[in-house]
Structure 1
Amino acid sequence: MDEPALIGHRVQRLRAERGLTQRQLAEPAYTPAYISTLEAGKVRPSETALRFLAERLGTSYEELATGRPAHLATELRLALAEARQELAGGAPGAVGEVAGRYRRLLAEAQRLRLDAEQAEALTGLGDCALETGELAEAISRFEEAERLLAAEPLPRRARPIRGRAVAHLLAGELRYACYLLESAIDELGASGLPDPEALVLLYAAVIGPYIDMGAHARAAHAAELALSLAPQVGDPALVAGMHRQVARTFLAEGRVADADASLAKAQSIYARLDLRTDLAHCHWMRGYVHAQNGRLALAEQELRTAREMLSARRAALYTAQVDVELADVLRRLGRHDEASALLAALLELELGLGDRRGAVHAGGAHRLLGLIAEERGETEAAEEHYVKALALLERSGATGDLADLCRLLGDLLRRTGRVEAAMDAYRTGLGHRATPGTTTLGPAPAAPASAAQASAAPASATPPPGHAPRRTPGAVG
C-alpha cells in the first residue's frame, strides 16, 4: 500500500473525475469528514475502507492502494506463464529470445513494484542461464529471486532454491547442492504444512547429487518419498521430472526394467506437453539404460537423438554431458577415433569444462580418454588422462567416480610394475568408498508427515557392497 498522501490524492482525483461529492462517496459507511481527512493524506485507510471506496469509484482495491491497474498485474502474470512454457517447449535456439522476454517482463514487474512477479522473471532468467551453461549468472538470478521471496512461505521459494542447487551441481559442487536441497526439505517438514509439489520438486532434484556422491540408499529413499507424494501433485511436468529422477535410483539398484518403465512414463508426459529439453533428457537416460544392458546400437541412437535436441536448444552443459555418455558407447563399439574426436572437441570448448562449470564431466571425458589410450596400448597417455581426471574430480565430492578412477589408475600402475604406487592408488580409492555416510552431510532430512508411510532414511548412506556402477547421467529433473 502506498503512503497516505498518495492514496488520498488518488481518491480525490477519481472522485472528481466521476463528479461525486465527498458526502456521496462516503455514505452510507463513512462521513464526509473522514473522506476529507483521507484525501488530505492525514489518515491511513484500512483495507475495508479502501475496498468500499474502490467499489464506489468503480475501480479495484489494488489500483486505489498502489496506483496499479489490476489488469496490468494479471497480464504480466499471464506473460510470465507463457514465457515459462515457451522455454520448456520452445523451438530450437529459442532460449535467447525467451531470456530477452524475461528481461522485459522483469523491468515491467520492477516498474509496477510487484515482488512475486519480479521473482518469477528472475527464476526464468536463471533457468535460461542453466540452459546455456552460464552457471554464475544462473546462481545470481536465483539468489535475487530468493531474496525477493524471503518473507514468503518456503513452497513459494522452492523453484529458485532448486534452480540454485542445480547450478551448483552442474558446477561440480555436489555437497553444497545437497545442503541447499536438504535444508529446504527439512524446513518444509518442520513447517507442519508440507507442500506436495514443492517436496516432489526438491526430492527429485536431490536424487542426482546423492547418486553422484555414492549415497545410493539416501537417493533411493528420496525416490520412494517422491513417488509416495506424486498422486497429490497436479503439475504433469513435475510428475514427469520425478519419474525421470526415480529411474536413476532404479538403475543404481540394478532394476533396469523398472527404470525403463519410469522413463517411458516421463517420456509420454513430456511428448504430450511438448517439453523438448525434458524429452531430450529422457532419450539420454534411455540411451544409458540400453548401454547398461549391452544394447549399444540402440544406446547410440537414443543418445544421438538427445544430443541433437539439446544442441538445437543450445543447452551447452547438458550437450557436453551427453557427449561423454555417447563417447563411452562409441568406445565400447570399438570406434575409438570417433569417441576420441568427440571428447577432444568437448574439452576444447570455450565453455571450459575444466573450471567450476563442469569439472565432473571434464573428469569423465579424461577417464574415457584414458581407457581408450589403454586399449590402444598407450600407457603413458592413459596415466596422464587418469591423473587429470582425478585432479578435476577431487573437489567435486563424486566419491563413486573417484573410487573408480583410483582402481583404474591402480590397475595400470600394477601392470607396469609400479606396485607401491598402485597400492597407494587403491588405498585412496578405498578411502573414497569407505567414508562413513559418503556425503559428510549429517543426518538425512526427516520424512514429512504426509509421507510417513515411507521407510526412514539411514543417517549414513553407502553404496551396496561390491557394487560400483559407473555414474548415471547427471541430468536434473
Structure 2
Amino acid sequence: MKNSGEVGVRIRRLRRAAGMSQADLAGGDLSASYISLLEAGKRAPSTDVLAQLAKRLGCEPSDLTGAPADMPVNEFQVELKYAELALNNGDSNAAFEAYRALQEKVSLAARPEAWYKAEHGMARSLEHAGRLEEAVARYESLHSASLDRPDLVPRLPTVIALCRCYRELGDLSHAIEVAEATLVELEKLQLGPTVIGVELLSTLVGVYMERGDMHRAAYLAAKAIEQAGTVTDSRALGAAYWNASVVMHRNGNTADALTLIEKALAIYAEGEDQRALARLRNAYAMVLLQSETAQPEVARDVLGQSLTSLREVGSSVDVAYCLSALAQAELRLGNAEAAIDHAERALELLGPDHRLQSARNHLVLAAARLALGDRESVQEAYERGALMLEASEANRQAAFAWAELAEILRLCGEDERAVWAYRQSMRCMGHRETFLTGQKLTSRT
C-alpha cells in the first residue's frame, strides 16, 4: 500500500467530491475522529476498512490506495495462461516477469485469489530458474498464508514445493520437518488417499533417501504405492513407482528397481509431461549405470534422449542433472575427459544453491581426475564433496565419499591423512571414535 498520507489525501478528496461529512463517511461502525486521523495520515486503514470506505464513496479500494485498477477477469486468465506456457516451455525468466506484471495489475484486498496465483507462479519460476533461496522465501510466505486462508492458498502443493527446495538446498532436516508435520495433520483429518497426498509421500521418500534413512524411505514408498492404487490418477501411481524403484535400487534390489521404474516409464510415456518423462529417464539411466550388470552405453543413449528434450522444455537445473548423469556414464565408459567436461558444465548451471547435486559432481570430478592421474585435484574434490554432503546431513553419502578419499590418500602414501579420512567416514556412519588405554576400551565423546 502507498503511505498513509497519500491514502488520507485521496479519502478526503473523494469524500468532499461526494458531499459527505466525516461522520457520514464513518457510518455506524467507525468514528468521525478516526476518519479525521485517516485523512491526516496518522492512521493506516486495514484492507477491511478500505473496502468499507470505498463502498460508501462509490469507488474501488485501488482508488484510495493509488494502486492500479484491477484488470478484468478474462484478461487476467489470458495473461495467466501466457505465464504458464512460458514456464512450461522452460523460459523461467519470462514466466517470472509475466507473473510479476500480473500481480501488479491486481489488488490483494480486492482480488486475493488472483494475487496469490501470481505469487505462486513467481515462486515456481524462481525454483525453475535455480534461484532456490528466493523461491523458498516466497514459498514460506505462501505457506504462512495457507494456514490463515486455506481457501485462497492450496496447502499441500506449497508444502511439496518447500520440501523439494529445501532438499535441493541441502537442508534435509527442514524439508523433513515441514513434510512430516503436514502428514500428521492429514492423518488427524482422516481423509482418504488423494493424488496430491501421494505426491507429498513420494517427495518425502526422496528426502529420506538423501539422508540415508532407507527404512523410513521404504515404508513411505510402500505406503505411496498402496494409496496410489486407490486413486484414479495414473500419474500418482507412476510417481510412487518412480520413488519406490530408487529405494529398492539403493537397497541393492536392482532387478525389482528396474521393473518398477519401467512401469513408471510406461505410465509417463502415455502422458503429455515431457519434462517429467525426461527426468524419469535420468533416474532410469542411473539404475542402469549402478546395477550389478551395468549398461553404461545404454544409459548414455537414454540420457542423450533426455538432454535433447530437457533443452527444449526443461530448466537449466534439469539440464545440469542430466549432464551430471552423463558424466557418470562417460566415466564408466573410460572417457575421463568427457566426464570432466559434463561435470564442470553441470556445476556452472547449478550455481551455489544446489548443494547436494554440486557435491555429487565434485565426486565425479574426483574420480575422473584420478583416472587422469591428477592426484592433488582428486583429494581436493573428494574433500569438498564430502564436506558439502555432510553439511546437508546426507551422512551416508558423505561416509562413502570420505572412505573413497581415504583409499586415494593410502595409495598416495599419505597414511596419516588416510586414517583421518577413514575416521571421518566412520563418524558419518554414526560410530564414535574409540581408542585403547592399557587393557581398557574407552570412547572419546
Q: Distance in 2 between matches of 1:254 and 1:350?
A: 31
- Retained in 2: the 8 A contact 1:103–1:121? yes
- 1:405 is aligned, of 394, 401, 405, to 401
Distance between the aligned counterparts of 1:120 and 1:233, measured in 2? Answer: 27
Matching residue's letter, 1:176: H
Question: Over residues 202-225 of structure 1, what are the superposed CA-to-partner deviations in whole Å (9 max), with x where a residue is unaligned?
Answer: 111111111111111111111111
Aligned to 2:115: 118
TM-score normalised by length of structure 1: 0.69
Contact 1:116 1:148 in 2 (8 A): no
Tell me by how many angstroms 1:174 deviates.
Answer: 1.6
Q: How does 1:348-363 map to 2 (within 5 A)?
A: 349=348, 351-352=350-351, 355=352, 357-363=353-359
**Does residue 358 of structure 2 align to residue 368 of structure 1?**
no
Distance change in 2, residues 1:108/1:232 (3 Å): farther
Change (3 A) 1:180 1:81: farther
Query: Which residue is equivalent to 1:379?
Result: 375
Counterpart residue number, 1:224? 222
Say if 2:138 is the partner of 1:144.
no
Q: Distance in 2 between matches of 1:182 and 1:429?
A: 29
1:404-426, Cα deviation, whole Å (9 max, x unpaired): 11111111222233333222211
- 1:303-326 CA-partner distances (Å, limit 9, x unpaired): 222223223335122322222221
One-letter code of the match for 1:384?
A: E
- State which of 413, 416, 428 in structure 2 corresponds to 1:417: 413
State the 1:334 CA deviation.
0.6
> What residue is the counterpart of 2:11 in the other structure?
none
Aligned mates of 2:230, 2:114 — CA distance in 1: 26
Question: How far 1:384 sits from its partner (Å)?
Answer: 1.9
Alpha-carbon offset, residue 403 of structure 1 = 0.6
- Cα distance per residue 1:72-113 (max 9 Å; x no partner): 6688579757865x468x44x444444344334434553673
* Contact 2:224 2:240 (8 Å CA) reproduced: yes
Residue of structure 1 in register with 2:429 after alignment:
433
1:337 partnered with 2:337: yes
Offset of residue 341 of structure 1: 1.7
SS state of the match for residue 334, structure 1? coil
Letter in 2 for 1:375: A
The verdict on how the C-alpha distance between 1:311 and 1:175 changes in structure 2, with shifts beyond 3 A counting, is farther
Q: State how far apart, in whole Å, the 2-side matches of 1:76 and 1:105 are.
A: 7
Gaps of 5+ in 1: 1-39, 44-65, 437-477
Higher relative contact order (CA 8 A, sep 6+): 1
* Structure 2 gap ranges (5+): 1-25, 30-59, 62-70, 433-445
CA spacing shift, 1:271–1:141, aligned 2, 3 Å: farther
- Conservation of the 8 A alpha-carbon contact between 2:139 and 2:161: yes
Structure 2 counterpart of 1:215, from 213, 216, 232:
213
Could you tell me which residue of structure 2 aligns to residue 309 of structure 1? 309
Does the 8 Å contact 1:115/1:149 carry over to 2?
no
Cα RMSD for the two superposed structures: 3.6
Distance 1:80 1:225, change over 3 A: farther
Task: Give the % identical residues.
Answer: 23
Deviation at 1:241, TM superposition (A): 2.8
Residues 122, 144 of structure 1: 8 Å contact kept:
no
Q: How do 1:42-441 and structure 2 match up within 5 A?
A: 84=84, 86=85, 90-91=88-89, 93-110=90-107, 113-153=110-150, 156-193=154-191, 196-293=194-291, 294-313=294-313, 315-347=315-347, 349=348, 351-352=350-351, 355=352, 357-434=353-430
Give the match for residue 19 of structure 1: none
CA contact (8 A) 1:118 1:145 kept: no
1:234 to partner: Cα distance: 4.4
d(CA) in 2 for partners of 1:223, 1:131: 26
In structure 1, C-alpha distance between the alignment counterparts of 2:331 and 2:205, rounded to whole Å:
28
Judged with a 3 Å threshold, the aligned counterparts in structure 2 of structure 1 residues 135 and 117 are, in CA distance, closer, same or farther, namely same
Aligned residue identity for 1:99: F
Tell me: CA distance 1:386–1:162, structure 2 relative to 1, closer, same or farther (3 Å): same
Residues 188 and 194, structure 1, Cα contact 8 Å, conserved in 2:
no
Q: Distance in 1 between matches of 2:245 and 2:355?
A: 24
SS in structure 1 of the partner of residue 270 of structure 2: helix
Once residues 311 and 382 of structure 2 are traced to their aligned partners in structure 1, the CA distance between those partners, rounded to angstroms, is: 28
* Secondary structure of 1:394 counterpart: helix
Paired positions, count: 376
Does the C-alpha gap of structure 1 residues 425 and 369 become closer, same or farther in structure 2, counting only changes over 3 Å?
same
Instruction: Output the TM-score relative to the length of structure 2.
Output: 0.73
Instruction: Read off the aligned partner of 2:315 and give its amino acid letter.
Output: A
Kindly provide the CA deviation profile for residues 363-384 of structure 1, in whole angstroms up to 9, marking residues without a partner as x.
2122122212222333222112
Closer, same or farther in 2 for the Cα pair 1:392/1:79, shift >3 Å?
same
Q: Partner amino acid for 2:216?
A: R
Q: Pick closer, same or farther for the CA change 1:325–1:83 going to 2, 3 Å.
A: same
User: Cα offset for 1:362?
Assistant: 2.0
